[in-house]
Amino acid sequence: MAVLLTPVVTLPVVPAASRRRDLSCWLAFVQEAFANVPGRGWHSRVVWQRVAGWRSRELSSFEPSRMATLELAALLHDIGRALDPLDLSPHGFVGAQFLDDLGLTDIAPLVAHHSGARLDAAARGLEHLDRWESADPELQALLDYADRTVNSRGQMVTLAQRREELVARCGEDSAKTARFDLLLPDALRTEAWLATLS
Ligand SMILES: [Fe+2]
């Protein structure tokens, strides 16, 4: 009988409670957590860099604490992929549970629902795993847009380029491509909004 073996996940030591909002600690954590799949680590880091790049111009009117929430969510948005490498649950929810347990309750909902996690959960009949209220819609839109414009190797790309890569990897008729297309109008709206702020 085939037995599904869940890999033992060894995560780096999480930052101490006093440094739990310290981006530099989490940068090291993410790099180590994705040591076996460095592209994922780069993707996370560059999604954060994309968001941080808006700090002094497009998002200069944001409260520093709100900006800090967005930046940490950007860096940690895919951490569920390191915790659940077999992708047994929507990775946003896995990451959100981890962050909730660490007391990062403002980051968790953004991570839980990034880039259409609810659609992924619905497709798999796993909606019951969603325990998070939707967070700040502006921050969610910005996180999702940043995620959509950094490819799986950590390069900044346009929405069109990201879609091309997705089609090449998963196929035009794949669920991932369908989800990308469903969320594309939101991403285009966010892109246009950012352009008005620059
Ligand atoms: Fe991502």
Q: What is the pLDDT of residues 82-122, one digit of tens each?
A: 999 999 999 999 999 999 999 999 999 999 999 888 898 99
Residue 138 CA to ligand 1 centre (angstroms): 17
Element (DSSP H or E) covering residue 136 = none
- Rounded CA-CA distance 197/11 in Å is 39
The size of the chain, in residues, is 198
- Rounded CA-CA distance 90/87 in Å is 7
Residue 144 CA to ligand 1 centre (angstroms): 8
Q: 65: which 2 tokens?
A: 């604490």
pTM of the model: 0.93
- Rounded CA-CA distance 148/30 in Å is 19
Q: 33: which 2 tokens?
A: 């957590």
Task: Taking residues 140-151, report their average pLDDT.
Answer: 97
**CA distances to 71, 147, 157 from 196, in Å:** 21, 20, 20
Residue 114 CA to ligand 1 centre (angstroms): 8
- Rounded CA-CA distance 89/123 in Å is 11
Q: 180: which 2 tokens?
A: 């990308």
> pLDDT value at position 198?
84
- Rounded CA-CA distance 98/180 in Å is 26
Residue 62 CA to ligand 1 centre (angstroms): 23
Averaged pLDDT score across all residues of the chain: 93
Considering only 69-73, 130-134, 140-144, 192-196, which range has the smallest mean pLDDT?
130-134
Residue 1 CA to ligand 1 centre (angstroms): 35
Residue 191 CA to ligand 1 centre (angstroms): 17
* Selection from 170, 146, 129, 157 nearest residue 71 by Cα: 146
Q: Break the chain into its structural domains and give their ranges.
A: 21-197
CATH assignment of 21-197?
A: 1.10.3210
> pLDDT value at position 137?
96
Residue 5 CA to ligand 1 centre (angstroms): 26
Residue 73 CA to ligand 1 centre (angstroms): 11
